[in-house]
A and B are shown apart, each in its own frame.
Chain A
Amino acid sequence: MKIEVLGTGCKNCNALEAAARQALQQLGMDVPIDKVTDYGEIVAYGVMSTPALAIDGEIKTTGRVPSVREITDLLEGATV
């Protein structure tokens, strides 16, 4: 499974990374989080508002920091 956080390091982007880490910890999943900070890459994904979360190359949320609960739901959905 691949987890990516798209964003350029503003407060929200860091918050998303932190929330994602927490979610992974809660589920006991040991998956590294890749940070995508290059604008070209971010837009190539089709993302216009950061921060964004991608699981296995698929964008799941954009423009906001989802709750840890929402991320765990998404992660569980992706492992099914």
Chain B
Amino acid sequence: MSIFLPEPGTRRSSVNLWGLVVAAGFAWVVGYLLNGQFWDLVVYDVVGLDPDTRLGEAVHFFVYDTTKILLLLGGIIFIVTVLRSFVTIERTRALLGGRSEGLGNVAAAGLGVVTPFCSCSAVPAFIGFVAAGVPLGITLSFLIASPMVNEVAVILILGMFGWKVAVLYVVFGLLVAIVAGYVLGRLRLERWVEPFVFETKLRGDVIEPSTEMPWEDRIAFGWQEVKSVVGKIWPYLLVGIALGAAIHGWVPDELFAQWAGSGNPLAVPIAVLVGIPLYSSAAGVVPLVQALADKGVALGTVLAFMMAVVALSLPEMILLRRVLKPKLLATFVAVVGTGILAVGYLFNVVI
């Protein structure tokens, strides 16, 4: 084993880097805690809006929420990306290969949450999993959990509904992934998978990318991801928050309570059906949905809607069509949709 001594220059820059990270973390905490008071000062004292007017309330809500969410997003995306740099989908595949159903579904759902995964990789990943002997149901558990329990959605729910709801979302999201995947596996639908998937031969072994990365690279990667994700979703976020702010300020309370409150049993199926064909970044939906919840839409209905939008996205369905025959795709949507429906009802009853 060789001893590697960092040159004086690199050691210094390494210390600088950690110093920077610690300072950023500190600034983050301070910013987050003082967010509300800061905007109270700016909006009400400096600009002079009246907190009792709708305009005042809406503007305050808008800037406060935007700041809070950007901070949450930045912080958690950074941490999650750095942690994820230790995990690869190739290793997940190896872990899941040949597993038996039941526990395998649980493992797949859990791994689906922590494994870095881009929707555009859905097809190669699916083929790769199947080629490695991962049972269909377990592969599907992975594919359901991954987009649904995604950190952006969870952060936003955390920020807007509090940690209890966020935890419930994660738990139920995992349950839907596990149960739906298990059910789909049990239905033995392999004949509804496009044949070429089973015929694809690997030329040699699966490339296992090295997870050996110096910390500087991991941190740089984390920061890059923050810029990339925020860069992608900020328009949706602003629109969602603006709509939320408008509803907050101008829509009378309890307007929705009559037909979308917990009293109406049709609300949940409608929410799920509307959510399925919609495609939106979680960023756009969550702020909007929080305002609706404020105005009396039952929490279960709201969560079911969110899950339907995020977990069953049209672009991903279009991608999966390459490997799943229409019947399997339809069954997939139906089973997951039903699971989400159940979650929605459960929430409305329990909360």
Residue numbers of A with Cβ under 8 A of B are: 7-8, 10, 12-13, 39-40, 42-52, 59, 61-64
Which listed residue, A13, A43, A64, touches B128 by the CB 8 Å rule? A43
Of all chain B residues, which has the CB nearest A70? B217
- Given the contacts A8-B120, A39-B322, A43-B124, A63 and B89 also touching, CB distance less than 8 Å: yes
Does B196 lie at the interface of the complex (its beta carbon under 8 Å from any beta carbon of A)? Answer: yes
Task: Give Cα distance in the complex from A6 to B93, angstroms.
Answer: 20
Task: Give Cα distance in the complex from A42 to B117, angstroms.
Answer: 16
Q: Are A50 and B121 within 8 A (Cβ)?
A: yes
Residue numbers of B with Cβ under 8 A of A are: 88-90, 93, 116-121, 123-125, 127-128, 131, 196, 200-207, 209, 221, 322
Q: Are B204 and A46 within 8 A (Cβ)?
A: yes
Which listed residue, B90, B119, B201, B322, touches A48 by the CB 8 Å rule? B90
Q: Are A46 and B124 within 8 A (Cβ)?
A: no
- Given the contacts A43-B202, A49-B89, A50-B118, A63 and B127 also touching, CB distance less than 8 Å: no
Q: Are B200 and A44 within 8 A (Cβ)?
A: yes
Note all chain A residues with C-beta closer than 8 A to B206.
Answer: 46-48
Task: Give Cα distance in the complex from A64 to B87, angstroms.
Answer: 13
Q: Are A47 and B118 within 8 A (Cβ)?
A: no
Task: Give Cα distance in the complex from A39 to B203, angstroms.
Answer: 13
A15, chain B: closest CB distance, angstroms: 9
13 intermolecular pairs with C-beta atoms under 8 Å apart = A8-B120, A10-B120, A13-B120, A39-B200, A44-B201, A44-B202, A48-B89, A49-B88, A49-B117, A49-B124, A50-B118, A51-B120, A63-B88
Of all chain A residues, which has the CB nearest B125? A48
Q: Are B200 and A40 within 8 A (Cβ)?
A: yes
- Given the contacts A59-B207, A63-B116, A47 and B200 also touching, CB distance less than 8 Å: no
Of all chain A residues, which has the CB nearest B115? A49
Of all chain A residues, which has the CB nearest B123? A39
Task: Give Cα distance in the complex from A61 to B207, angstroms.
Answer: 9
Note all chain A residues with C-beta closer than 8 A to B196.
Answer: 40
Task: Give Cα distance in the complex from A59 to B201, angstroms.
Answer: 17
Note all chain A residues with C-beta closer than 8 A to B201.
Answer: 44
Of all chain A residues, which has the CB nearest B204? A46
Told that A59-B207, A61-B209, A63-B209 touch, could you supply 15 new A-B pairs with CB distance under 8 A? A8-B123, A13-B120, A40-B200, A42-B124, A43-B200, A44-B202, A44-B203, A46-B202, A48-B93, A49-B89, A49-B118, A62-B209, A63-B88, A63-B89, A63-B116
Which listed residue, B117, B119, B121, B207, touches A45 by the CB 8 Å rule? B207
Note all chain B residues with C-beta closer than 8 A to A42.
Answer: 124
B23, chain A: closest CB distance, angstroms: 24
Q: Are A47 and B207 within 8 A (Cβ)?
A: yes
Task: Give Cα distance in the complex from A39 to B125, angstroms.
Answer: 10
Q: Which 9 A-B pairs have the closest CB atoms?
A: A10-B120, A48-B128, A49-B121, A46-B207, A46-B206, A59-B207, A43-B127, A44-B203, A62-B209
Of all chain A residues, which has the CB nearest B131? A43
Note all chain A residues with C-beta closer than 8 A to B221.
Answer: 64
B231, chain A: closest CB distance, angstroms: 11
Q: Are B127 and A39 within 8 A (Cβ)?
A: yes
Which listed residue, B118, B205, B207, B322, touches A12 by the CB 8 Å rule? B118
